[in-house]
Structures are given as C-alpha cells and as structure tokens.
Amino acid sequence: MPRFLLDVRCADLIGWWLRVECPACGGRSVELPFRLIEGRTPGLRLGDVLRGLRCRQCGVRPGRVEMVANAADRAHGRPAPGG
C-alpha cells in the first residue's frame, strides 16, 4: 500500500467502513465505520488502525481488510444480508 494512503486521517474517511475478515475464525467478518473509529480515538490515521487490528475472539491479525461504502456493500459477489 502506498505510504500516503496510510497517512489518511480517519476523520477524512467518515462515511466509509472497514470490513475485516479473520482467517482463523472461518472467515468471520465485521464491519467498522470510520465514524465510530474516529469517535472513540480522534486523530488516528489509517495506518494506525490497520497496524492495531486483531480478532476479538482469537487475537489473530486480519486475513483481509477492505474499505467499503457501507456495511451492506458486499464484495466478491456475496449478497448483502437479507438479499
């Protein structure tokens, strides 16, 4: 990832979400809104967030992290919940 992307402030990404998948928990995924990340820890940069990501259940680093427009935006052809 180019360095300048890691320096983007989370405050500038409000309206976007991170989808984080754990490789050890069978592909379990969670969606995290940047609005929530910025609200809990103001001033973080994207690189800070990515370095600190761990699965709450097993403590493993994510296998995949995607930035999506909203929590229902499903990548890789997976349908949105309820659809």
Read off the pLDDT of residues 4-21 as tens digits, 9 standing for 90 and up. Answer: 889 999 999 999 999 999
Q: Which residue range(s) make up the domain with 48?
A: 3-68
**pLDDT digit string (tens) for 24-82?**
988 889 999 999 999 999 999 999 999 999 999 999 999 999 999 887 765 544 444 44
| E strand or H helix that includes residue 6 | helix 3-6
pLDDT of residue 82: 45
Q: What is the pTM of this model?
A: 0.76
CA atoms within 13 A on the CB side of 51: 7
Task: Work out how many domains the chain is built from and give that number.
Answer: 1
Is 28 a domain residue?
Answer: yes
Is 8 a domain residue?
Answer: yes
